[in-house]
Structure 1
Amino acid sequence: MRLPAQPPFDPEAIPTDAVVSRGGRELRLVWAGGEEAVLAAETLRLRCRCAWCTRDRLQERFPASFEAVAVTKIDEMGGYAVNIGFSDGHARGIFPWVYLRDLAREGAAPPAEDQTPRAA
């Protein structure tokens, strides 16, 4: 198998600062260009893409919320991602920086219904 020549990640997606705050309830990210975002621990837990969470979603066993969850650890993975551990014991998810940046931008965007032009 021949791999693409481009790097496997976007270096601009790597934040200059990543801080867990509010007792683990938030992950604050800051990028070199001045962009900042705060991701709630519950959002991160709900958006985990690990094999176990994916399986539970497919089997319709994935919880609809994780209201009291907190981030308990964040470990860098090869410069392109982080492994995030949660207070519910889940620590299998690898979150690429690009994915976290996309989640942050998704949260900052207005809801789709607000972007739809309305008839006068």
Structure 2
Amino acid sequence: MNSYTFIQPDLIKSNMFGDEQMIQTFIGMYLTHCRSDFDNLSAAVHRRDVPEIGSKAHHMKPTMSYIGARELHVQFQEVESAARNGTDVSIILSLFEHLERNFEVMMRELDHFYSTLS
């Protein structure tokens, strides 16, 4: 994987001042916590707990900026806004399905990037 759709390795490296150990630690924690946080969001979606969907999406949104995943940041914002504005749950589910597919790609990218670190 030479190029990434969502993550920006150069931004990650810059945010971590080029410190390889810090980058490895950050990405390792990110892989664990992002998965857990997304599972919590997914559970809220499957329960159709609209207030919790808004809260969980809001919680995850800023973390996308740290890895340069701007498009995912926007998608989390869309889910959050839809939930907070009382949008019909069927629309929220559709937004989430799109987000979920892209989130999985981002996680694979992040995992690949992690595996390239020394």
**How would you bin the TM-score normalised by the shorter chain?**
under 0.3
Larger Rg: 1
Answer 1 or 2: which has greater strand percent: 1
Answer 1 or 2: which has greater helix percent: 2
TM-score with structure 2 length normalisation?
0.28
TM-score with structure 1 length normalisation?
0.28
